[in-house]
Structure 1
Amino acid sequence: MKQDRPSFFGTKIIAFLGGRDTLFMLTALVLTGLVILVFTEVSFIFGPLIIFFETVVLPVVVSLILYYLLRPLVHLLERGGLSRGWGILLLFLGGTGLITLLIILVFPFLQEQLLNFVAEFPLLFEELLTGADAFLGGSIIGGFYTDSGFDIDRLMETLPENVGDTLQNMVSGVVSGLTGFITTVTAFVVSIVIVPFVLFYLLKDGEKLPKHLIHLLPPRFREDFKEVLHEADHQLSGYIQGQIIVAFFIGVMVTIGFLIIGLDYAFLLGALAMVTSVIPYIGPAIAFTPAVILALVVSPFMLLKVIIVWTIVQLAEGNLISPQVMGKRLEIHPVTVIFVLLTAGALFGFVGIVLGVPIYALIRVVVTHLFKLFKRRYNKYEPVPENQYEKGEA
């Protein structure tokens, strides 16, 4: 009888393919792939949208970073009895004064150290090669090294007239690149100028924005969306505030440590450590490399002192500063972080390296919550106590 005939989704073929749910998921994936393929083939249509997106993203990202850095200070001023508007204005004035002091006092000093380092680099490089030649010639492999016919003088002759020429070419290339970069930045001046305005309204009304967004959704999705927004805000604020504070302490400790052991360019190396420390795991290695080169030129004992300073800094950061400042907010495995940094760096360059981890954390929040909703909908992958969801909604 027709009434007893199973529906299409109840046939043995569908059961063999994994059931209705699996078929729906595969269909969704295929349709998603087709949409991506179509967008790829007609990507030229979206050129104006891409330009608009690139123009808007930069000020929004900068404003969000500053928002999460300044929001705790706004709350602190409010608890002190100052209205939110006046507190924001006070922070803006203080930030402007701080930036002015940095430009007048700190940046010229760091610039002088950088120029001195560039000027001395050829001599440092030559001393490093000479020291390596003497060390290898007097080591247990000295005979093999001598028989190899390696001649440091011949190497220096085969190099350009001096390493300074090569370094000068590198600097010229960097300057040329910076010129192009400045030209590009000029195109975004209009959007950059709006950062203070966006930041002001984020600090003033940013905490009201989630409520307005939630009310745009159907009632059945509001609680889930509210939970996702809360977790995303928690992840972003914890990461941005934590990374900046940790980077500041690392820069200060590295500078003090290198000053104590008498290493040249301590302030420049400390500033480099502070800037690169915003990149998890990879940043410290970048900052450690020039310090090692400078120490090798001086003496093996200086290298030992640099290693001791860096070890103390890393132990203090890993066991005292980061646990207190950041805690376990992200809970991302180090291997995952490295893969995220490599992938984001290959796709988006330096911006990807800096923003890759927080963006991954946000994506993980959304995907994790969607998977929870999927389990709640189908309730197949783990046992659920009776009336659990009803209790959670109460």
Structure 2
Amino acid sequence: MGNDNERNEEKRLLQEKSTFFSTSFIRFLGGKNLFFFLVIMLLLGVIIFVYDKISFIFAPLQVLLNVIILPGVLGVILYYLLRPALKLLVKWNVPRSLGILILYIVVAGFITLLALLVFPFLRDQFTSLVQDFPIYFMSAAESVVSFLNNSRINDYFQTVNFSYDEFLMDFQDDLVVTVKETMTNIASGVASGITGFVSTITGILLSLVIVPFIAFYLLYEGEKLPKFVLKIFPPRMRKGVGEVLHDMDKQISSYIQGQILVSFCIGVMMTIGFTIIGLDYALLLGFIAMITSVVPYLGPAIAATPAAIIAIVHSPLMLVYLIIVWTIVQLIEGKFISPQIMGKSLSIHPITIIFVLLTAGSLFGVPGVVLGLPGYALIKVLVTHAYRLFKNRYNDFQTDEANYYEKKVN
């Protein structure tokens, strides 16, 4: 009798003893599912390694991505720009297809008006600036050298046998040689690269022609896309996936619409300010500021460089006026325009923005600089929702309520 009780007690203790997959930590990570997940990741790594050795198989896919990425991005931008106006027309009981047609007519008329009235003037100013910019640059360099020669810094450089005048002459000679070599290389490469150049221009033109069609289908059936995506997921996951899609759509919409409006305001204010102080090429420099302001922080600094060079050549007082105009515009944009238009839609720290722009630019060049921030915003949405799911799962396996991340709301 006693032996039976001992055996029952040992059996009970063995049953209560936790296995590796039944420990709280492993159950929190997924239990046996974790093991299968690691196996799948290992197999995925092997597959990637194998396909890396036969990467030529992916060449058609790479060509496809290169073909569709430009019209796709431009189509999405046009979609987010026109969607608010289309929603307003639909709210006024205008059929969706007719509303899209009206918007296209308005956009086409606006582009035609710009091409007829503004573009010729910008073209003339750009041609003149390209011709005169080397003169402006060398005049600015000579002004800086003259200032340094009359400053105390000159005494220090004389002790190390450094001459500004010799440096400037050498720089001029190197610049002339570089320009000649560049023109020679361009001339020699025109014949051999004419086919590639024509192919590239043709691809860009075809991409621009495809953009209105992509935007049309996005505007016409874009509201159905999230519902189609949700049907792919199991029913119990659709609510969470729907929240992720909604937040991603909100982030991209706020960024595209807000950044373009902010850039337009900066361009207008810069043009008005340059005109008031009498700076040459005011409209062209304002247009450059508008285009480059699409990239936060770095864009305005890039746009101010040619304006500063022209101002230095004009007079030192003009440079002071330029600094005043640039400061006023940045203050108005930072304190009034951006908070009202964009608010805190991205909620990204300025230091983070700079690091994202530098990293994306190093990896993907100019497209990376332009698309780095919206890409970061999408990744941030995914990580935020994944972390929320992590906290909820932690609470499910946490018996001590004091250690909860937050109270669960059922």
TM-score w.r.t. length of structure 2:
0.83
Name 1:220's counterpart in structure 2.
236
Q: CA deviation at 1:161?
A: 5.6
- 1:247-277 residue CA offsets vs partner (Å, 9 max, x unmatched): 0000000011011011111111111110110
Of residues 65, 68, 76, the one that matches 1:53 is 65
Could you give the per-residue CA deviations for residues 88-147 of structure 1, whole angstroms, max 9, x where no partner exists? 101111111222222233222222112211222232233223222221222233444556
Q: How does 1:1-394 map to 2 (within 5 A)?
A: 4=14, 6=17, 8-9=19-20, 19=26, 21=28, 24=34, 27=38, 31=42, 33-145=45-157, 151=163, 154-160=166-172, 166=178, 183-187=199-203, 189-379=205-395, 380=398, 382-385=404-407, 388-390=408-410
8 Å CA contact 1:9, 1:20 repeated in 2: no
Deviation at 1:325, TM superposition (A): 0.2
User: Identity rate of aligned residues, in percent?
Assistant: 49
**Contact 2:122–2:284 (CA under 8 A) maintained in structure 1:** yes
Other structure's SS at 2:118 match: helix
Indicate how the Cα distance of structure 1 residues 324 and 210 shifts in structure 2: closer, same or farther if over 3 A, else same: same
Specify the SS of the correspondent of 1:194. Answer: helix
The code of the aligned residue for 1:87 comes to: G
Change beyond 3 A, Cα 1:169–1:280: farther
Deviates further, 180-189 or 254-263: 180-189
Check the 8 A contact 2:28/2:393 in 1, yes or no: no
Amino acid at match of 1:231: D
Structure 1: 5+ residue stretches without partners: none
Q: How far apart, in 1, do the equivalents of 2:285 and 2:310 lie?
A: 10
| Alpha-carbon distance between aligned partners in 1 of 2:186 and 2:306, rounded to the nearest angstrom | 18
Structure 1 residues 10 and 83: alpha-carbon distance in aligned structure 2, compared to 1, 3 A threshold: closer
Query: How far is the alpha carbon of 1:286 from its aligned partner?
Result: 0.6
Q: Read off the aligned partner of 2:278 and give its amino acid letter.
A: G
- 1:246–1:322 CA contact under 8 A, matched in 2: yes
CA contact (8 A) 1:276 1:284 kept: yes
1:294 maps to a residue whose letter is I
Post-superposition offset of 1:304: 0.9
Alignment partner of 2:389: what SS? helix
Q: Is the 8 A contact 1:250 1:317 kept in 2?
A: yes
The verdict on how the C-alpha distance between 1:81 and 1:344 changes in structure 2, with shifts beyond 3 A counting, is same
Q: CA deviation at 1:190?
A: 4.4
Compute the displacement of 1:19 (Å). Answer: 4.3
In structure 1, C-alpha distance between the alignment counterparts of 2:250 and 2:314, rounded to whole Å: 46
Which letter does structure 2 place at the counterpart of 1:257? G
Contact 2:149 2:164 in 1 (8 A): no
- Distance change in 2, residues 1:28/1:151 (3 Å): same
User: Residue type matched to 2:58 in 1?
Assistant: F
Alpha carbons of 1:316 and 1:10: their partners in 2 closer, same or farther (altered >3 Å)?
A: same
CA deviation after TM superposition for structure 1 residue 301, in Å? 1.2
> More deviation in 206-215 or 65-74?
206-215
Query: Residues 129 and 152 of structure 1 are in contact (CA less than 8 Å); yes or no, is this contact kept in structure 2?
Result: no
On the 8 A contact 2:391/2:405 being kept in 1, the answer is no
With over 3 angstroms needed to count, the CA separation of the structure-2 counterparts of 1:306 and 1:376, relative to structure 1, is same
Q: Secondary structure at the match of 2:365?
A: helix
The alignment's C-alpha RMSD in Å is: 3.1
Shift of the alpha carbon at 1:149? 5.2
CA distance in 2, matches of 1:148, 1:241: 55
Contact 1:269/1:287, CA 8 A, preserved across alignment: yes
TM-score of the two chains, using structure 1 as the length reference: 0.86
178-187 vs 239-248, which moves further = 178-187
Task: List alignment gaps of at least 5 residues for structure 2.
Answer: 1-9
Q: Say which is worse superposed, 137-146 or 247-256, in terms of deviation.
A: 137-146
